[in-house]
Chains A and B, each alone.
Chain A
Amino acid sequence: MKHVNAVIVGAGAAGGIVAKELATAGLSVVLFERGPWYTAHDCRKDDLRNQRVTVLGNAFGPEDDGNPRVLVDSKGNVREILPSEGSYNNNAACVGGGTLSYGAQAWRFMPQDFRMRSTYGAPAGSSLEDWPISYDDLEPFYDKAEHEIGVSGDVSTDPFHGLRKRDLPMPPLPPNKEMDILWPAAKRLGLHPFNVPMLRNSVPYNGRGPCMRCRWCCGYACEVDAKNGSQNTVIPIALSTGNCELRTQSVVRDILTDNRGRATGVSYIDPRGNSLEQYADIVIVSACAIESARLLLNSKSRLFPNGLGNRHDQVGRNLQGHHYTGAAGYFPFEVYDDIGPGVSVGICDYNHGTPGLHGGGMLANEFTRLPYQMTDRLPEGTPSWGLAHKQAMRQWHKRSIIIMGPTQQIPSPNARVTLDPKIRDKYGIPVARLEGNVHPHTFEIGNRQSERAAAWLKEAGAIHTSSMNWSPDTVSAGQHQAGTCRMGSDPRGSVVNRDCQLHDVDNLFVIDGSVHVTNGGFNPVLTIMAVAYYASDALVRNWKGTRFRS
């Protein structure tokens, strides 16, 4: 196999961007993706088989056969989990990763989100820390992501966001009915509503048309390709340079190292089942928080008996996603017009600054809902079956609004990814074992967010609200998974440095949500993209011709 400059593992939000940045800088790149390349024609509008409702399986991988994980809850119960079960904490396995089928909210973290420990102090039992980089360091790269990948929206009425040099490149989509109701209600409460930014074309952009506002949005590949992910932006650019080769349905088994402790490439399994090796000057792991940690832990050798970068037992710790809470409001009039994407109005009034709480999160209305999702979201006290349930479906489907938000999680070192000692996937590779729980302070914040969502709905005219609030006894990661290869300056408390380079191996990088120290009170994808641009920039600057020197 021909030697190349860089191998990238995972063609998702971050991997696609790194591939494009390195390939356009003239490096030869092989981009590995374990899933296939789907297109807009794979949308299929299937209410029961997508990435959000997975009762009949994941539409965009992984398949249920041969890809288990193991879950340990806080009581110590151990269970093998299928990819289509919620507690698998799946993202997706395909070119584009989660960005093919995501809801595409495009949030910048706030300046305080990078300084959580200095702002609040660390609660007992937590591993709350500051990022080694600031909002200002990332601002140019947020800007680059917004313009290269393509974001619509208008945050000019949000007084809480960090300074930005330019407006978003596209205007927001026209308002839906929920926005017309929720916006004035928020104003009456003294809040600051604004148009949620989205990685979605509202006007023709980047050679593709705008959103047609259908019902099948979050969880689906966009039928008209108006949703912007790495699969329809940066990856095609990377391939068009001629410097990047994309190998789909190829599963990387481990990272190879030489006897001086430097990475030399990866071993992988091609679509025919052959075990092959690809050698490279540098290796970049962009497989998402759970799988990136698993790959490092599975890369054991004489010099690295506990896996790569794991000298201080940090790889896989601080696994976090978001603790979603909110409320459903039930109205005496029709409030739901079934126009996609659904999420339209948000507030950041509650992200920071509540006495006694270490942070908070944004709140916004929910994505368009499919009827099956509504069957368990009826007012409290509705029977779960029978004529009353059917009547309630008719009564409330168009007369309800859900407001939810991602509560910023307080990281815990015990929420972690390890390798299961027994269970292996269909290739014989040890699978990820998820253990630990969400730090309990997160639940306090989530409760308050739920009350706030209910108050907003009541002000908008809801005659009844149900709180959507829970305290799970397992880790929370899901599509927002982050934190397992934390960025930091101290090798004893982090895995990579501020340039996403492993403390232990100077030609090995982790560039994806794994490096997030904290995960903000927002959907994390735009930050993953900004970090990918930021780290690629450093990597290209430090690239010295034929080999990499730090």
Chain B
Amino acid sequence: MYFNRRELLLGGAAAGGVLISGCHSAGSTWLVLTEEQARTLTALCDQIIPADDWPSASQAGVLTFIDRQLTGPYRRHRKAYRQGIESTAKLAQSRFNTELAKCSPAQQFEIAQALEHQNPAFFALVRNHTMQGYYGSPRHGGNKDGVSYRMLGLDFPLLRGRAQYDLTAGPK
């Protein structure tokens, strides 16, 4: 090997940084999404996992999860997100003449239901990624403070055995 493991990881991180800055949408606080896309996606994800006594998808960091994965393993889904969010926005525009984020919760629910029928592939993608963000490992940006673990009554931080890793640290 040319590199030891540490050098390789640092090299990877640097390359990742270039990539991230390269796709940073101008004026957006997100890595890949524009502010407008993020607003629409937030509304959609919060219908998939709404708030009750426990946080909604976006409150638990699902948007951070999806946005971050779109620079990594889900780079291949970028186009699907761009087109899917656009079709979601159009749906809201045509039915309620406003953007999804400004619709009432009942209207947002209706749009989510309509999207599930009209664009099942995109809806399934967002649904699955929302579940991953909410119920997956906190290290990927979602499941903030292990909130879904605690909601399900699972130990977090893990009491049994040892939790010697910082589970909130970023991806590899």
Contacts from A to B (Cβ < 8 Å): 43-49, 55-57, 64, 84, 212-215, 223-224, 249, 271-272, 338-339, 370-372, 374-375, 384-387, 389-391, 393-394, 397-398
Which 5 A-B pairs rank lowest in CB-CB distance, beginning with the nearest?
A212-B161, A371-B135, A214-B161, A47-B137, A372-B135
Cα distance A57–B49 when bound, in Å? 24
Is the CB–CB distance between B127 and A384 below 8 Å?
A: yes
Is the CB–CB distance between B136 and A213 below 8 Å?
A: no
Q: Does chain A have a CB within 8 A of B36? A: no
From B149, B155, B160, contact of A212 by CB (8 A)? B160
Which residue on B lies nearest to A337, using beta carbons? B160
Given contacts A371-B148, A375-B135, A397-B153, 5 further A-B contacts (CB under 8 A): A372-B132, A372-B136, A386-B47, A393-B135, A398-B153
- Mask for B72-86, Cβ within 8 A of A = 1, else 0? 110000000000000
Q: Does chain A have a CB within 8 A of B20? A: no
Given the known interface contacts A385-B48, A385-B49, the answer about A48 and B152 at a Cβ–Cβ threshold of 8 Å is: no
Q: Does chain A have a CB within 8 A of B21? A: no
Cα distance A131–B144 when bound, in Å? 53
Query: Chain A residues with Cβ under 8 A from B162's Cβ?
Result: 212, 223-224
Contacts from B to A (Cβ < 8 Å): 1-2, 47-50, 52, 54, 69, 72-73, 109, 112, 127-128, 130-132, 135-137, 139-140, 148-149, 151-155, 158, 160-165, 167, 171-172
From A272, A339, A390, contact of B49 by CB (8 A)? A390
Enumerate 7 A-B pairs (CB-CB under 8 Å) in ascending A order: A43-B165, A46-B139, A56-B132, A212-B161, A223-B162, A371-B135, A398-B152
Query: Chain B residues with Cβ under 8 A from A223's Cβ?
Result: 161-162, 164
Which residue on A lies nearest to B128, using beta carbons? A55
Is the CB–CB distance between A385 and B161 below 8 Å?
A: no
Is the CB–CB distance between A394 and B152 below 8 Å?
A: yes
Query: Chain B residues with Cβ under 8 A from A387's Cβ?
Result: 50, 52
Is the CB–CB distance between A374 and B2 below 8 Å?
A: no
Query: B65: shortest Cβ distance to chain A, in Å?
Result: 9
Is the CB–CB distance between B132 and A48 below 8 Å?
A: yes
Query: Chain A residues with Cβ under 8 A from B131's Cβ?
Result: 372, 375
Q: Which of A45, A224, A272 has the most CB of B within 10 A?
A: A45
Is the CB–CB distance between B140 and A393 below 8 Å?
A: no
Query: B92: shortest Cβ distance to chain A, in Å?
Result: 18
From A43, A48, A271, A375, contact of B137 by CB (8 A)? A48
Given the known interface contacts A46-B139, A386-B47, the answer about A57 and B73 at a Cβ–Cβ threshold of 8 Å is: yes
Is the CB–CB distance between B152 and A371 below 8 Å?
A: yes
Is the CB–CB distance between A338 and B154 below 8 Å?
A: yes
Query: Chain A residues with Cβ under 8 A from B165's Cβ?
Result: 43-45
Query: Chain A residues with Cβ under 8 A from B172's Cβ?
Result: 44, 49
Query: Chain A residues with Cβ under 8 A from B137's Cβ?
Result: 45-49
Cα distance A391–B54 when bound, in Å? 10
Query: Chain A residues with Cβ under 8 A from B136's Cβ?
Result: 47-48, 371-372
Which residue on A lies nearest to B54, using beta carbons? A390
Q: For chains A and B in complex, what number of residue pairs have CB atoms within 8 angstroms?
A: 100
From A47, A215, A386, contact of B135 by CB (8 A)? A47
Is the CB–CB distance between A214 and B50 below 8 Å?
A: no
Is the CB–CB distance between B47 and A56 below 8 Å?
A: no
Given the known interface contacts A272-B2, A338-B155, the answer about A390 and B132 at a Cβ–Cβ threshold of 8 Å is: no
Query: Chain B residues with Cβ under 8 A from A339's Cβ?
Result: 160
Query: Chain B residues with Cβ under 8 A from A384's Cβ?
Result: 127
Query: B49: shortest Cβ distance to chain A, in Å?
Result: 6
Is the CB–CB distance between A397 and B152 below 8 Å?
A: yes
Is the CB–CB distance between A48 and B140 below 8 Å?
A: yes
Cα distance A187–B47 when bound, in Å? 46
Which residue on B lies nearest to A384, using beta carbons? B127
Is the CB–CB distance between B160 and A371 below 8 Å?
A: no
Cα distance A390–B50 when bound, in Å? 8
Is the CB–CB distance between A371 and B149 below 8 Å?
A: yes
Is the CB–CB distance between B160 and A214 below 8 Å?
A: yes
Is the CB–CB distance between B127 and A213 below 8 Å?
A: no
Cα distance A452–B159 when bound, in Å? 36
Is the CB–CB distance between A385 and B47 below 8 Å?
A: yes
From A44, A213, A397, contact of B161 by CB (8 A)? A213
Query: A333: shortest Cβ distance to chain B, in Å?
Result: 13
Is the CB–CB distance between B154 and A371 below 8 Å?
A: yes
Query: Chain A residues with Cβ under 8 A from B109's Cβ?
Result: 386
Query: A27: shortest Cβ distance to chain B, in Å?
Result: 27
Which residue on B lies nearest to A214, using beta carbons? B161
Is the CB–CB distance between B54 and A385 below 8 Å?
A: no
Query: A268: shortest Cβ distance to chain B, in Å?
Result: 15
Cα distance A47–B148 when bound, in Å? 13
Is the CB–CB distance between B167 and A45 below 8 Å?
A: yes
Cα distance A49–B48 when bound, in Å? 23
Is the CB–CB distance between B50 and A386 below 8 Å?
A: yes
Query: Chain A residues with Cβ under 8 A from B130's Cβ?
Result: 385
Query: Chain A residues with Cβ under 8 A from B49's Cβ?
Result: 385, 389-390
Query: A195: shortest Cβ distance to chain B, in Å?
Result: 20
Query: A212: shortest Cβ distance to chain B, in Å?
Result: 4
Query: Chain B residues with Cβ under 8 A from A370's Cβ?
Result: 135
Which residue on A lies nearest to B5, using beta carbons? A36
Query: Chain A residues with Cβ under 8 A from B135's Cβ?
Result: 47, 370-372, 374-375, 393
Q: Which of A213, A385, A394 has the most CB of B within 10 A?
A: A385
Cα distance A214–B164 when bound, in Å? 12
Cα distance A78–B151 when bound, in Å? 43
Q: Which of B69, B136, B155, B163 has the most CB of A within 10 A?
A: B136
Given the known interface contacts A214-B160, A386-B48, the answer about A56 and B69 at a Cβ–Cβ threshold of 8 Å is: yes
Cα distance A398–B150 when bound, in Å? 12
Which residue on B lies nearest to A50, using beta carbons? B137
Which residue on A lies nearest to B56, using beta carbons? A390
Which residue on A lies nearest to B139, using beta carbons? A46
Is the CB–CB distance between A64 and B73 below 8 Å?
A: yes
Query: Chain A residues with Cβ under 8 A from B158's Cβ?
Result: 214-215
Query: B81: shortest Cβ distance to chain A, in Å?
Result: 16
Query: Chain A residues with Cβ under 8 A from B171's Cβ?
Result: 56
Query: Chain B residues with Cβ under 8 A from A45's Cβ?
Result: 137, 163, 165, 167
